[in-house]
Amino acid sequence: MKFGFIKSPLLRYLVVRFLLIFPTIFILVSMVFFVMRAIGDPITAALGGRLTPTELARRIHLAGYDRPVFTQYLDYLGQIARGDFGRTLTTNQTIGEVLATYGMATVEITVYAVIVALAVGIPLGMLAAHRRDTRTDAGARLFGILAYATPVFFVGLLLKLVFGVMLPVLPIAGRASISNEMLLQTVPSPSGFYLIDALRTGDAGIIGDVLAHAILPALTLGLLTAGIFMRLVRTNMIGTLNNDYVDAARSRGVSEYRLVTKHAYRPALIPVITVVGMQIAVLLSGAVLTETTFEWKGLGFELAAFLNARDFVAVQGIVALLAVVVAVTNFLVDVLAAIIDPRIKY
């Protein structure tokens, strides 16, 4: 695949990178399929013991799980290609419906988390790089390592304990109080992104309530990646602060603050963009655990519920769907990085 007929190197890179999405999705979806089918048929796993053997056999036959695995696999690939990820066993919804109901909640918490991570991680990384090898640096690095070392759900439990129980100032479960949640459903064509819906109602009480519910989950999930951003910014900043142009600027009398925030900042930020993309995978793992801790009814919370109900068709569908999300996000981030950074080789 040389694509020599496309003259612009950037465009050629984009085309090749776009085409690479498909093998990635194919591999992940196939892996999920064979891994999940290795345990036998999902109907027995979910309902075995609750139905008579004849009824079980009938249901298995109806769903087509008694056919050769390879036939099922081809069928499955065909379904995925049409965007059909299957139907849950326990609640009899399509995975598309599950996504429509709960997907926005996960997007919302992830957006908040990225904001927290950037707002905490970047300034802290800049400070640590500038005060390198001092106590400030050691403290910032310790924070970075602790943020990684603490499981998200433990951070969540600690925050709940401190801000929900010891100082009962913040709600510790759900996305909004029940009455407000009902009100938010009545907004014409609700987006599911509660903050947006709340802003549309224009009611300060609802907006405040939605934000209050988001604080602890956002901090929990955000701190997970804040540490990674902090370390990354610190490392790259140390690299750029050693450049001659920084010394040159310093000798012209540019203030230290300006050196760090203007001169060394931009080159140090490009790797952060690339890593934000890779963090999507980390954030999704973290979202599953954060949503479970705070009863935040998103995809992760649902995934955990399906896991406990042993509904592996639903699990397979959601995991395959997330594989697509990850592949597409990574593509978008690579494109962004290629456009921003002229040094990336295509």
Partner 1 sequence: MRALKKLFNTGILGAARGSRGVQRGMLVTGLILTGFFIIMAILAPMIAPYGFAQLQDSHGYFGAQQPPSSKHLLGTTVGGMDVLSRVLWGSQTALLVIVFAVVMSIFAGVILGLVSGYFGGWLDRILVVIADAVFAFPSLLLAIAMSIVISGGRSGLFTGILSTAASITAVYVPQYFRVIRAEALRCKTEAFVEAAKVIGASHWRIMFQHIYKNATRTLPLIMTLNASEAILTLAGLGFLGFGIDPTMGAEWGYDLNRSVADVSAGIWWTSIFPGLAIVLVVLGITLVGESLNDLADPRLRSRGAANLDELEIASEVSVA
Per CB under 8 A, residues contacting partner 1 are: 23-24, 27-28, 31-32, 35-36, 38-39, 45, 133, 137-138, 141, 145-146, 148-151, 153-154, 157-158, 160-161, 164-166, 172-173, 235, 238-239, 242, 278, 281-282, 284-285, 288-289, 292-293, 304, 307-308, 310, 312, 315, 319, 322-323, 326-327, 330
Q: Give the tokens for residue 221.
A: 């999930």
Which residue number, 79 or 136, has a Cβ lying nearer to partner 1?
136
| Nearest distance in Å: CB 204, partner 1 | 28
| Nearest distance in Å: CB 213, partner 1 | 15
| Nearest distance in Å: CB 187, partner 1 | 30
- Residue closest to 236 by CA, chosen among 68, 122, 322: 122
Which residue number, 218 or 224, has a Cβ lying nearer to partner 1?
224
Q: What angle do CA 72, 74, 79 make, to 5 degrees?
A: 90
| Nearest distance in Å: CB 203, partner 1 | 28
Rg over alpha carbons for the chain, rounded to the nearest Å, is 24
Report how far apart, in Å, the C-alpha atoms of 343 and of each of 17, 142, 248 are.
17, 32, 23
Question: For residue 146, how many C-alpha atoms fall within 13 Å in the half-sphere facing its CB?
Answer: 9
Which residue number, 160 or 263, has a Cβ lying nearer to partner 1?
160
Which residue number, 134 or 185, has a Cβ lying nearer to partner 1?
134
- Report whether 206 contacts 184 (CB < 8 A): yes
Q: Tell me if residue 222 falls in helix, strand or coil.
A: helix
Which residue number, 32 or 207, has a Cβ lying nearer to partner 1?
32
Which residue number, 242 or 255, has a Cβ lying nearer to partner 1?
242
| Nearest distance in Å: CB 137, partner 1 | 7
Report how far apart, in Å, the C-alpha atoms of 277 and of each of 68, 281, 284, 287, 296 are.
38, 8, 12, 15, 23
116, containing H or E segment? helix 95-130
| Nearest distance in Å: CB 85, partner 1 | 14
- Report whether 104 contacts 191 (CB < 8 A): yes
Q: Tell me if residue 251 falls in helix, strand or coil.
A: helix
Residue appearing with tokens 């990674």:
228
| Nearest distance in Å: CB 172, partner 1 | 6
Amino acid found at 310: R
Which residue number, 196 or 212, has a Cβ lying nearer to partner 1?
212
